[in-house]
Amino acid sequence: MFLPRALCPLPRPVYAALLLAVTLPLSAQADEDCVAQFDASVTRYNEAVTVQTKREVTNLHQLNFLLCQGRLDLLDMEFALVDDYEQCTRNGGKFPDKTVQTMTTLPDNLASKKTAWIDTCGPYMKQ
């Protein structure tokens, strides 16, 4: 950002240092916000897993359209979690080691989970 000398009486190095000092706390707050949003998404995902599990147990694990749709929704949530995690880490978000390990291995499993969902639930979704 360039300001005319009349609008910025400070020497450029001092002005640049002040500008950096103002923006760094905002960046750190944004990093914390993205981690908090990710953690909230993980909580919603875990709650959705609990609900889905209860539905499947109640239905004696006999799949149908609604249960398959629930499984697909969970899979979509996992894909979104991976995207959110990767975006947050690119923006400087810091996570516990366990989260890092989980989120770095999860993408490898998503393709096979999607294939398994298609094989298992595909016929129910056509009805």
pLDDT of 100-114, one tens digit each? 999 999 998 999 999
What are the extents of the domains in the chain? 31-125
What is the number of other CB atoms lying within 10 angstroms of the CB of residue 59? 12
Residue 2 pLDDT: 44
- Residue 33, pLDDT > 70, answer yes
For residue 77, what pLDDT band results from cuts at 50, 70 and 90?
very high
How far is 125 from 121, CA to CA, in rounded Å? 6
Cβ pair 100, 86 in contact under 8 A:
no
Alpha-carbon Rg for the chain in angstroms: 23
Residue 9 pLDDT: 52
